[in-house]
Amino acid sequence: MAGSMTVSVNSTPPVDLYANGTVHHSELLPASDDDHGGIIVDMKEPMDPDIFHAKLRASLSLWGQQGKKGIWIKLPIALVNLVETAVKKGFQYHHAEPNYLMLVYWIPDTPSTIPANASHRVGVGAIVLNDKREVLVVQEKSGIFQGKGVWKIPTGAVDEGEEIFMAAIREVKEETAIDTEFLEILAFRQWHKSFFEKSDLVFLCMLRPLSFDIQKQDLEIEAAQWMPFEEYAAQPVAQNHELFTYIIDLCLAKVDRDYIGFAPQPLRSTHDDQISYLYSNARDLNQSSSADRQ
Q: Are residues 125 and 150 in the same domain?
A: yes
pLDDT over threshold 50, residue 12: no
According to the model, what pLDDT value does residue 47 have?
A: 95
Which of 235, 229, 221 lies closest to 155, judged by CA?
Answer: 221
Q: What is the CATH number of the domain that holds 228?
A: 3.90.79.10
CA atoms within 13 A on the CB side of 248: 20
According to the model, what pLDDT value does residue 15 have?
A: 34
Q: Are residues 240 and 168 in the same domain?
A: yes
- Highest average pLDDT, of 35-39, 270-274, 281-285, comes from 35-39
Say if residues 10 and 17 touch (Cβ distance below 8 Å): no
Which residues lie closer than 8 Å to 219 by C-beta, 6 or more apart?
A: 141
DSSP 108-153: SSS---PPPSP-EEEEEEEEEB-TTSEEEEEEESSSTTTTTT--B-
Mean pLDDT computed over 184-200:
89
According to the model, what pLDDT value does residue 197 have?
A: 82
pLDDT over threshold 60, residue 174: yes
Catalytic residue among 174, 197, 222, 242: 174
Helix and strand numbers (H, E) in the chain are 7, 13
Report the predicted TM-score, pTM, of the whole model to 2 decimal places: 0.78
Confidence of residue 238 (pLDDT cuts 50, 70, 90): confident
Q: What's the burial of 168, exposed, middle or buried (CB within 10 Å: 0-12/13-18/19+)?
A: buried
Residue 174 appears among annotated catalytic residues: yes
Task: Report if residue 18 sits inside a domain.
Answer: no
pLDDT over threshold 80, residue 11: no
Task: Report if residue 89 sits inside a domain.
Answer: yes
Range of the domain at 287: 263-293
Q: Count how many residues are written for the chain.
A: 294
Q: Are residues 170 and 208 in the same domain?
A: yes
Task: Say how many domains are in the chain.
Answer: 3
Maximum Cα–Cα distance for the chain, whole Å? 82
Say if residues 126 and 153 touch (Cβ distance below 8 Å): yes
| Each residue's pLDDT tens digit, 134-169 | 999 999 999 888 889 999 999 999 999 999 999 999
pLDDT over threshold 50, residue 2: no
Q: Are residues 83 and 162 in the same domain?
A: no
Q: How far apart are CA 74 and CA 165, in angstroms?
A: 31
pLDDT over threshold 80, residue 292: no
More confident residue, 19 or 129: 129
Which of 106, 130, 153 terminates a domain? The answer is 106
Confidence of residue 66 (pLDDT cuts 50, 70, 90): very high
| Each residue's pLDDT tens digit, 109-141 | 999 999 989 888 999 999 999 999 999 999 999
Confidence of residue 291 (pLDDT cuts 50, 70, 90): low
Say if residues 102 and 73 touch (Cβ distance below 8 Å): yes
Q: Are residues 181 and 101 in the same domain?
A: no
Task: Report if residue 79 sits inside a domain.
Answer: yes
Question: Which of 34-38, 149-153, 216-220, 272-276 has the weakest average pLDDT?
Answer: 272-276
